Structure 1
């Protein structure tokens, strides 16, 4: 299906550095492949080459050959290759052309001449597969980030390509929706025998679909092509050095330094099937308890917000206290982002009021409010305003007329902490999605606001960047800042949060400590589209095995 031979690529902006170097690999019909590597290593760039966007839209140089279905990619006419290679881009908004969900799916079908009498059935079919049929008539602008990701997938599935490339297709999805999407893709591949390339950082769920991986290092060079289990066994040091995520259960067992001659499991199911004496009866940290409450910081009173006649937030009242690390969780479309924007004073509620330090939001000057509350958007590009990475971080400091020497010192420190020092002269839009996310966080934390609201701050991050970002936020928390973070990552909630706020269909349905959340019935968690973190799943497995052993004896 795909042949890549001695392939090199570099951009005009970096003439002395190849983004991709000497790539050689093949992908057969019906085969699946995990394309893994650190943020900014060229994974998405390779995608643009495989679907024909490069070299047509490339400001730079390409060498080598890419062959799709026996024909060089450069010999396909514009648009022709997209019927064979379908791509769900990392940022789904970049591939939308129309205003409504239905029209967006129809757009691609119309372009390949699908008759109108069968188009309706195809649209309904793919929307049902990605659980968006109820949103068929909705405006795309009204969808959540995760719903937009599923819409992009539906648009590509409707075209039935021979090769499907998914660039972090589940990064913005809640745990249950992620499982559903992976299951859907697996079902589609079985029915159509299409080839599949998955670019992901978080591997959980994907290893059940394929165990072949292609590993890129930070220089855009392939350092491994083969079975993921063998990579963990023989390339572990290099995987960790490059910041490539391992499946969560594998990562957890390695952290516990559990030695075994057998290959480590890639899934919790595999862990359950192995002899438990192999791993020992390890004690597992259950997570954080609620700390003693500090002074009230933000009060939300009977907050409601709707778009037209559609209620998004419904009568939420709560108080956030000084010194909390709060996780805001729930299904895609449950209102998390809307609620966080209301708390930050970016969006006004339809009903109700918000107070910060006992002052209504309306009485705050905008400049004062931004010194008090920092907000990191779900889409990092929504907050970029400067032409270089350095100037983006320096902007708010210069706005406050800080001494330029102080500005330089603060910016350099944040650049180094966020792994952006080598990119300080780049344009923010030239960065990879993971690098853009780190920049958006860096631009916000440089101001030292006492309250930080972050919408999916670890989206698109490799393991090293994720650890640095969360270490940075933990440092801010320990120095007295209050942090509220929207996330779908149950491990982050377990490891960092002191309090969890659960939204479901725009309503506040739970407000509790992580330890209390994990003890709720699993049916309730699944109803809210949540899952147990790996540590708790392991604990439950060991407990079940211990109970079984006790009964047997």
Structure 2
């Protein structure tokens, strides 16, 4: 195989961090047609390496680099601006950063125009890539009208249209529902088989990707490579180091480590690999039910509807939330989850209907009082940043409440430590990695101790350690009496934490039930809602089938 990428003794340092390297002495190769999982904790330099591979760094770098990156036999710095994009296509972690046009169709066409594709060939190409990512129906839509997950798929379509030799995907499924995630992985696999392009996949959640590639490149918190090879071997031989660095393992692997850590056989990476394993006693699913008496009515939504330019987004939703619930809001990309959560938080006014908190309509609350009652974490963390340092961002709301400086310092330091941001307290929020920005957005809300927290995808972009810290924090707030509502695509979080699940489908509330009741729904119905069973339930179902088969055979 011929070389696609060669990275030789590559080191990068930012001017803002003169004491340490962000990337340190990297050496690795990637062949044509080869796939690689680039894994590491949040903030270890994975996205920074992407900027180096596609030529943004060192051209736009405030800092210095040493070493060399060779793309298709030519050093990355020797490519002219824009030329390297025909070799290396990147789907960035935040898709909005790469859009420059107003409509879906024009955004895909923009890249094709830049590489000189004749107009008569564009229509077919645009339709083809939009169909691949299930956005053909949105061809004429404004990008601003798309959900976060739909924007992610549009970014992928724009890159696929250019047919690069190397495709880099920076958390490409972070905002996608479970079925869309599976579809994207299958699409990428099909494209690679047809084009023989090389792949670098940056992900925290590995499920689905391990069937596409098993080679992994592992970075530690110092931006150093500590392993390059087979993922299964890394788990067998470097498990302690993986856990110390907060690198996610496939969910099936996590489950077996927790339930049967002393297994003598290789740990499975996928549900399909568990059949050879003997049965064992497994934990039961979450059987929490909706509390009808445990908490008093807290938030009431009455006949909520919302339209954008006469396009219905939310259709006549009525429900009551109770004190002390942990609620998951789920559904397909574009089903209205974010819009509904913003209406509940009083950030967005409904076209029809009303929301009341403590039997008092939101419109009658003073804004300052409402924000003391409700904390909201946006899907895009940058939408809520207003200060110049991480410390000041968290301190801002405390100072508005006229807290003493001693109290501000005590509370901010505690939250910084809990959220793993203490070492970044003097950094500008916009310089953080996406995972760190997410933790900061959560930190700015929880520092105020509001009794009602609404969070839109709070865990995307988090490594295993940060995810555990964040969910432990939310669980602590829940146990202390807070009501929590969380928009999420993570079925495992629903299984482990939620007491109640609201399912939205095409802007309608189609189910309101406990997690165990949701998992008991027909699988066809779950797929129609773009949901999937959590790994724990899949494994238990698989083991139950084996047990039933063994009983029938004996």
TM-score range, shorter chain: over 0.9
How far apart, CA to CA, are the structure 2 residues paired with 1:213 and 1:262? Answer: 21
What displacement does 1:290 show?
2.5
Q: Which runs of 5+ in 1 are unaligned?
A: none
How far apart, CA to CA, are the structure 2 residues paired with 1:513 and 1:541? Answer: 22
What displacement does 1:281 show?
3.8
Matches within 5 A, 1:106-185: 106-185=109-188
Match of 1:458 in 2: 459
Q: Which runs of 5+ in 2 are unaligned?
A: none
What displacement does 1:257 show?
3.0
- The two structures have a TM-score, normalised by structure 2, of 0.99
| Preserved contact between residue 281 and residue 542 of structure 1 (Cα < 8 Å) | no
| Preserved contact between residue 299 and residue 356 of structure 2 (Cα < 8 Å) | yes
What displacement does 1:230 show?
0.2
Match of 2:234 in 1: 231
What displacement does 1:256 show?
1.1
How far apart, CA to CA, are the structure 1 residues paired with 2:147 and 2:282? Answer: 39
How far apart, CA to CA, are the structure 2 residues paired with 1:52 and 1:70? Answer: 15
The 1:287–1:433 alpha-carbon spacing in structure 2 relative to 1, beyond 3 Å, is: farther
Match of 2:382 in 1: 381
SS at match of 2:16: coil
Match of 1:2 in 2: 5
- The two structures have a TM-score, normalised by structure 1, of 0.99
Match of 1:94 in 2: 97
Superposed CA offset, 1:13-67 (max 9, x none)? 0011100001000000000000000000000000000000000000000000000
RMSD: 0.8
How far apart, CA to CA, are the structure 2 residues paired with 1:265 and 1:175? Answer: 20
SS at match of 1:483: strand
Matches within 5 A, 1:263-274: 263-272=266-275, 274=276
Match of 2:497 in 1: 496
How far apart, CA to CA, are the structure 2 residues paired with 1:380 and 1:494? Answer: 25
Matched, 1:509 2:510: yes
How far apart, CA to CA, are the structure 2 residues paired with 1:546 and 1:33? Answer: 37
| Preserved contact between residue 288 and residue 496 of structure 1 (Cα < 8 Å) | no
Stretches of 4+ moved more than 4 A in 1?
A: none
How far apart, CA to CA, are the structure 1 residues paired with 2:5 and 2:48? Answer: 16
| Preserved contact between residue 442 and residue 458 of structure 2 (Cα < 8 Å) | yes
What displacement does 1:448 show?
0.4
Superposed CA offset, 1:336-362 (max 9, x none)? 000000000000000001101111111
Q: Which of 192, 196, 199 is 2:199 aligned to?
A: 196
Match of 1:289 in 2: 289
Aligned residues: 550
What displacement does 1:372 show?
0.3
How far apart, CA to CA, are the structure 2 residues paired with 1:257 and 1:444? Answer: 38
What displacement does 1:286 show?
3.7
| Preserved contact between residue 288 and residue 495 of structure 1 (Cα < 8 Å) | no
How far apart, CA to CA, are the structure 2 residues paired with 1:282 and 1:216? Answer: 33
What displacement does 1:160 show?
0.1
What displacement does 1:546 show?
1.0
